[in-house]
C-alpha cells in the first residue's frame, strides 16, 4: 500500500504556515517522520488521518482519495494521536469492545477473538480488567496501539508515541511497533531521532512545513562518513568563536563542557578529531541548512 502526498499546503487562521507545498511518497514499510516540535508533523498526520483538510494539494492511498473518500480511508486506518482520550473508568477490555463495535465489528465471536489477541499482543492481558485511569504512560500507549490495530488496518499512524515514556516503557513500545508486521504501512511521527534510527528503513525530515530530506537512514549516515568533527570548547568565549568560524551543526554538554560538532570535508584544524556520524548529525545538519537559506 502506497501513500502519495502531493503539493500539500495548510495555513491556519492565525497565519501559521504549517505545511508548504509538501510532496512525499511513503511505501509499505515502517516510515519515520522526523522534525522538531512545530515542524508540521501533526498537521500532516491529522490530514492523512482524515481529521482536517489542507488548503491545497492531494493525498492518495492506493486507489483512495484521502481528502474526498474519508469513510473508505477510515476503514483501513489505525491512528494513535499525540493525545487520545479514553473513558478512564472503563477497563481496557470493555473499551476495546466498545471501539471495535464503532468500527463495525458486530460479530461477537469475531470481536472477542480480535480484542483478546490484541490484549495479548500488547502485553496488557493481565491488566485487561483494570480501569484505564490506573495505567502507566507506557501502558496507555500500548493500549493506544491496540485500539489502532482494531479491524486489521493497512495504514497505521502514530504521532509522538514515546514522548514522556521512561526508557523501559519506550523500549517495550518500540518493540511492539516493530512486531506489527511488514504488510502494514506504519508512519511514526516523532522528534526523537533514536526512535527513527531503531525502527525505520526509510524516513523524512520536515521543518517549518517543508520537506528537507527523504531517504534511508543508512544512506544519509553514509553521506556524512568522515565529515563530522568534534572539539571541546573550554569556555563560552571559545564556543562563540567556533560557532562564528565553522559550520557547527550541534553542541552538547559533556562533563560541564561544550562538545562542538562540525561538518567539514577535511579536518577543520587543531584540536578537532573525527567522530562517527549519527542520525542526529543528519537531523541537525538539515535543520541548520534550512536556517541558513
Q: What is the pLDDT of residue 182?
A: 65
For 3, residues 6+ apart whose C-beta sits below 8 A from its C-beta are: 25, 26, 48, 59, 60, 61, 155, 185, 187
pLDDT reported for residue 33: 95
Helix (H) or strand (E) holding 70: helix 70-75
Residue range of the domain that includes 24:
3-217
pLDDT digits over 222-263, tens only? 999 999 999 999 899 999 999 999 999 999 998 889 999 999
Q: 245 by DSSP, 3-state: which?
A: helix
From residue 59, give the alpha-carbon distance in Å to each of 43, 64, 65, 147.
13, 9, 6, 24
Same domain flag for 231 and 174: no
129 and 210, same domain (yes or no): yes
Average pLDDT on 172-199 reads 86
In a domain, 282, yes or no: no
**36-81 residue pLDDT tens:** 988 999 999 999 999 999 999 999 999 999 999 999 999 899 999 8
Report, as an integer, the average pLDDT of 4-16: 96
For the stretch 252-269, pLDDT in tens is 998 889 999 999 999 999
232/146 same-domain check: no
Please tell me the pTM assigned to this model: 0.86
Distance CA 118, CA 123 (A): 8
SS (H, E, C) 194-231: HHHHHHCCEEEEEECCEEEEEECHHHHHHCCCCCEEEE
CB atoms inside a 10 Å sphere around CB 146:
27
Cell numbers found for residue 265 = 570535508
170 found inside a domain: yes
Residue 276 in this model has a pLDDT that exceeds 80:
yes
212 and 231 fall within a common domain: no
| CA 126 vs CA 46, 122, 123, 129, 230: distances in Å | 33, 11, 8, 8, 48
Amino acid at each position: 500500500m502506497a501513500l502519495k502526498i502531493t503539493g500539500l499546503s495548510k495555513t491556519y487562521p492565525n497565519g501559521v504556515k504549517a505545511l508548504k507545498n509538501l510532496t512525499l511518497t511513503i511505501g509499505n514499510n515502517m516510515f519515520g517522520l522526523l522534525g522538531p516540535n512545530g515542524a508540521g508533523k501533526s498537521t500532516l498526520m491529522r490530514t492523512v488521518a482524515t481529521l482536517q483538510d489542507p488548503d491545497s494539494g492531494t493525498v492518495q492511498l492506493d486507489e483512495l482519495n484521502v481528502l474526498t473518500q474519508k469513510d473508505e480511508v477510515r476503514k483501513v486506518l489505525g491512528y494513535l494521536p499525540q493525545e487520545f482520550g479514553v473513558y478512564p473508568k472503563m477497563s481496557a477490555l470493555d473499551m476495546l469492545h466498545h471501539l471495535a463495535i464503532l468500527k463495525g465489528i458486530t460479530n461477537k465471536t469475531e470481536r472477542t477473538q480480535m480484542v483478546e489477541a490484541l490484549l495479548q499482543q500488547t502485553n496488557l492481558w493481565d491488566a485487561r480488567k483494570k480501569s484505564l485511569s490506573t495505567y502507566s504512560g507506557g501502558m496507555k500507549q500500548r493500549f493506544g496501539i491496540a485500539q489502532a490495530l482494531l479491524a486489521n488496518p493497512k495504514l497505521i499512524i502514530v504521532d509522538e508515541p514515546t514522548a514522556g515514556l521512561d526508557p523501559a516503557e519506550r523500549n517495550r513500545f518500540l518493540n511492539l511497533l516493530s512486531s506489527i508486521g511488514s504488510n502494514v504501512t506504519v508512519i511514526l511521527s516523532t522528534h526523537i531521532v533514536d526512535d527513527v534510527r531503531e525502527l525505520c528503513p526509510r524516513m523524512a525530515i520536515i521543518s517549518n512545513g517543508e520537506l528537507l530530506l527523504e531517504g534511508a537512514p543508512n544512506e544519509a549516515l553514509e553521506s556524512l562518513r568522515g565529515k563530522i568533527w568534534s572539539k571541546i570548547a573550554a569556555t563560552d568565549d571559545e564556543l562563540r568563536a567556533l560557532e562564528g568560524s565553522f559550520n557547527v551543526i550541534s553542541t552538547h554538554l559533556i562533563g560541564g563542557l561544550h562538545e562542538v560538532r562540525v561538518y567539514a570535508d577535511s579536518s577543520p584544524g587543531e584540536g578537532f578529531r573525527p567522530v562517527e556520524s549519527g542520525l542526529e548529525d543528519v537531523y541537525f545538519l538539515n535543520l541548520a541548512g534550512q536556517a541558513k537559506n
